[in-house]
Amino acid sequence: MAMTLEGGCRVSDMREGVPVVNGTLRIWNRIGRATGAQAISLRIMEFAPGLSPGIRNDEGDEILYVLGCWERGHPVRLSEHGERKLAQVFIDGQSYDVDPDTGSYLRPRETFAIDNPSPDSIIIVSCRCPEPASIQEFVTPVTTPSALTSPDRPPLVRLADRPAQPTADRWYRVLVDDEVGSTQATQFVGSIPPGRAPDHFHKYEEVLFILRGEGRMWAGETNTPISPGSCIYLPKGQVHCVENTGSDELRLLGVFYPAGSPSVRYEA
């Protein structure tokens, strides 16, 4: 059940409510203007086996993160040895093999589709910056590049390939930023050790997705439990912190708009 905390901070589960269904694709719209966000959005996209419909966002940047195959809040092994590729993605018809824990940046008007050979569904977290005013546009999947397709930047960024940036007792890794081509938003993965950091706020809107660990989301004096699959919206200027109540790492995916550095924060 979705919880609204102080200042409009919102916490919900990744599969709450009724999804939008089109072919092999199911979409849960978790955060957007309909839930109080000003511009940023977060949605969960579940791709069943087979070729998905094409998706095109005409009005803004779209930042993707491939979780892989998830069941009950935990990743599913790809195979006995975990060696085979997860899936094949098509960006404007250009084909790429994709692994779990991979970020991607889609420019406005680029098309995206995924061919899932797995018997399990593949989960992707999508953020649009800003959220388009129009209804989601599904298109015929494009699986062959045109003469105009020019992949002039790395379209996929693996978490394992990005350097860790230490900040006090934690770290973060930036996947999507202006180096990849997005001047509108920043995508990162962060690690939080057990305990609670000082309250702080940012000068941007932010969405979070909990990848692993258990904790509590604090907004001012209010709080609620969080766990793998929790989707969180943080309004610009809202005092907050993530508390790790477990004994191991809490890891989260974050996207914020406008773009910047995850290390910049203001103490409350």
* CATH number for the domain harbouring residue 81: 2.60.120.10
The four Cα atoms 67, 69, 74, 78 give a dihedral, to 10 degrees, of -110
Are 34 and 100 found together in one domain? yes
Answer yes or no: is 86 within a domain. Answer: yes
Residue with tokens 């180096």: 179
Q: pLDDT for 2-32, tens place per residue? A: 999 999 999 999 999 999 999 999 999 999 9
Are 79 and 48 found together in one domain? yes
Q: pLDDT for 83-110, tens place per residue? A: 446 899 999 899 999 989 999 999 998 9
Are 104 and 169 found together in one domain? no
Contacts of 8 (CB under 8 A, 6+ apart): 36, 233, 235, 238
Q: pLDDT for 59-73, tens place per residue? A: 889 999 999 886 645
Contacts of 251 (CB under 8 A, 6+ apart): 189, 190, 191, 192, 210, 211, 212, 213
Q: What domain range is 83 assigned to? A: 18-144
Show which of 110, 144, 178 is a domain's final residue. 144
Q: 178-188 burial, b if ≥16 CB within 10 A, otherwise e?
A: eebbbebbbbb
Residue 75: its pLDDT value, please? 53
Answer yes or no: is 10 within a domain. Answer: no
Are 192 and 88 found together in one domain? no
Sign of the CA dihedral 66, 54, 72, 41?
positive
Are 39 and 106 found together in one domain? yes
End-to-end CA distance of the chain: 29
Under 8 Å between Cβ of 134 and 59 = yes
pTM: 0.93
Residue 80: its pLDDT value, please? 39
Residue 85: its pLDDT value, please? 63
Residue 79: its pLDDT value, please? 41
Under 8 Å between Cβ of 210 and 252 = yes
Residue with tokens 């969405």: 207
How far is Cα 191 from Cα 249, in angstroms, rounded to an integer?
6
Q: For residue 173, is pLDDT > 60?
A: yes
Q: For residue 247, is pLDDT > 90?
A: yes
Q: pLDDT for 118-137, tens place per residue? A: 888 999 999 999 998 877 68
Show which of 113, 144, 175 is a domain's final residue. 144
